[in-house]
Every structure is written in C-alpha cells, then in structure tokens.
Amino acid sequence: MRKMMDVWVSVMIIASFAFAVESHACTRVVYIGPDQTVLTGRTMDFSIDIPANLWIFPRGMERNGQVGQNSLNWTSRYGSIISSSWDIATPDGMNEKGLVANLLWLVQSEYPVFDMNGEKKGMTIAAWAQYALDSFATVAEAVESLRQEEFVVVTDFIPGTDKFTTVHLSLSDATGDSAIFEYVNGKLVIHHSRTYQVMTNDPVFEEQLAIKGYWDHIPGTLFLPGSNRAADRFVRAAYYLRAIPQTDDPHVAVAIMFSVIRNVSVPYGISTEGQPHISSTRWRVVADQKRLVYYFENVLTPNVLWVDMKQVDFSEGAPVRKLALDAGQVYAGNALEHFIESAPFEFQGL
C-alpha cells in the first residue's frame, strides 16, 4: 500500500510540471557506450506537417544571418549533413567532426531585442544550429564562443502560420559532451555537462533536471508516466537510457537508440482536445558520432536511410547536394548516391 501511495504522489507531482505549459513534442537522447561509442537520437514532432530534405554542405560556404544590413557573416569551417525544415531552416544535423545540433521547441523562450542599427550583429534563428555545425568541432569550443554573445538570435513567425518560433538548441559531440542553450527572459542560459543526455521541450532545462531528480527515486520497473507530454517523455527517455545495454556494436547501438526514441514518439495523427501543442512525430534521426553515420526515418515511409559521412567530399569547392524527401520519396540503406547537386536553400530571415 505504501508503495502504491508513493507512486500516486509521484503521478500528481509530475502532472503539476506537465500541465504547467503546453509544448511541442520533440525529444533528444544521447547514448554513451563503451569504446568511445556515442550516438544522438531525436524525434521531430510538430502540430503541422514539417517536411524535411537532407542536405550535404561542404566547407568554405559563405553564410549570412539574413536579418538585413546588420547581419552576421561567416564562412563554414566544417562540412555537414543536415535535415531541413521547409528548406528554410536547419533544425538538425551533424558535422564532419561528429558535432550534432538539434533544435527543439521551447514555448518559454524569450530572445534579446535586436537593433538593426546597433553594434551587435544579428542572425536568423533558422540558421542558429547551422552556425554551430559550421563553426565548432566540440561542445566545449561552442560553449566558450557562444557565451560571448557576439551576435543576437533573431526570431519571427514561421511563414504562412501563426506560430512564433521559440526554440532551444542542444549540442553533443563525439566525446559524449553536451550543452543546452536557452534564452530565458532575454538572457542566454547555458547548461553544459556530459550528464545532460536527455532533453525535451518545456519546461526550461533547469526544471527538466528537477523532474528527473525526483523520478530517479521511483523504480521504472514499478511505474513510468505514459502520456505524450514533455515531462513524461523526459522521464521515460531517461529511464530507458539507464536500462538499455552497453555495447560498441554499431548495428546494435543504432537499433537501441531507435528503440528509445520510438518509445518517446507521439503516434502519427494523434490530437488531444484543448491541447494543440501535443504533436505527432514527423521524422526521427540517429547520428552515430563515432562512425560518422547519419540515419533518417520518415514516419510515412517504411524504411530507414543513412549516409556514411566518411564517403562524402566535404572539401571547399565541392558541390552542395540534396536528397529530396518532402514529396514522399522512399529510399532505404546508404542513400548517398541519390543526392543531387543543388543550389543551397536560403535561411528564412526578416
């Protein structure tokens, strides 16, 4: 009886977190295994269709922050493979050094005011993750640079919708290090630790850690919260990450990671009355940061495709290449040969 009472109390506590905000439903998990095995998996969940294409970007690309005359300009130091959103933004990708960037929705985000005539440069939020992939080889390097706040992240509505873009950025690298970057009340907050292996949407990451701290004392074999809400997905992902076996077998490790992120996915087409931000999983990614293989799964197609980045020409001057997936195209296995040379998309700006 006492155990059942403890479980019920835990349900009520976690529900108080879960109902605090409405949230989109992405989840990101980092697996750290033996023999320097590191993989990052994520779900892309959204309330409307968010078609993805895969892009290969070489080194030496000239970039622009797309916010007018006071835009940040930079040149990519590293090549990357990314999943686009509507071919206007980079929400996910891995560079040739094994740095992975993931954007997840965070309703509570509040960004600094951008002065188009001010001294500080600006960059569209659509390019935030791409800037990290272009510029850094490790999480520590990214944290050291981004904490200087040498530019302002500028956000706006997603074109054709009433959705104002509010996201936080997670980075993980080939050593298993992680960092989460959030703008809270207009201030940049950075959480940097190898132990930050699980991340969802709302609430802010500090409160996610508090939720995890409580549930660490509740045996997952006795009870796990099962709803689609961000707090419950966080708890399930954290529990399974501790419970899954440790392996350096690349096939088993990828299968394990997909099994975890599928467990925290939201069934396709689901809707909940009065909760418009409970969102279907649209696609999933697993990035093997040791072996530099990027796996992609669209929930509307029956197969997983991948790209072995060691086979990609990322040299400066190499062509930008695209794998179109936004019209239901079906590929399986190593899809590198199906990429075609394409003009790069332009990041959505002001």
Q: Look at residue 101 and tell me whether its pLDDT is greater than 80.
A: yes
In a domain, 349, yes or no: no
pLDDT tens for residues 200-239?
A: 877 777 776 656 554 555 555 555 776 677 778 888 888 8
Residue 188 annotated in active site: no
Higher pLDDT, 53 or 25: 53
The 8-class DSSP code of residue 6 comes to H
The catalytically annotated residue of 21, 25, 26, 125 is: 26
27 residue type, one letter? T
In a domain, 244, yes or no: yes
Percent of the chain with pLDDT over 70: 85
In a domain, 162, yes or no: yes
CATH number, domain with residue 330: 3.60.60.10
Q: Look at residue 273 and tell me whether its pLDDT is greater than 70.
A: no
Q: What's the total number of domains in the chain?
A: 1
Domain span including residue 319: 2-341
pLDDT tens for residues 242-271?
A: 899 999 999 999 999 999 999 988 888 876
In a domain, 148, yes or no: yes
Asked if 153 contacts 188 with a C-beta cutoff of 8 angstroms, the reply is no
d(CA 44, CA 189): 23
In a domain, 350, yes or no: no
- Can you give the pLDDT at residue 235? 82
Asked if 332 contacts 342 with a C-beta cutoff of 8 angstroms, the reply is no
Asked if 277 contacts 270 with a C-beta cutoff of 8 angstroms, the reply is no
In a domain, 348, yes or no: no
Please give the structure tokens belonging to residue 134.
């272009």
In a domain, 184, yes or no: yes
d(CA 135, CA 47): 31
In a domain, 297, yes or no: yes
Please give the structure tokens belonging to residue 193.
């630790």
In which band, very low, low, confident or very high, does the pLDDT at 70 lie, cut at 50, 70 and 90?
Answer: very high
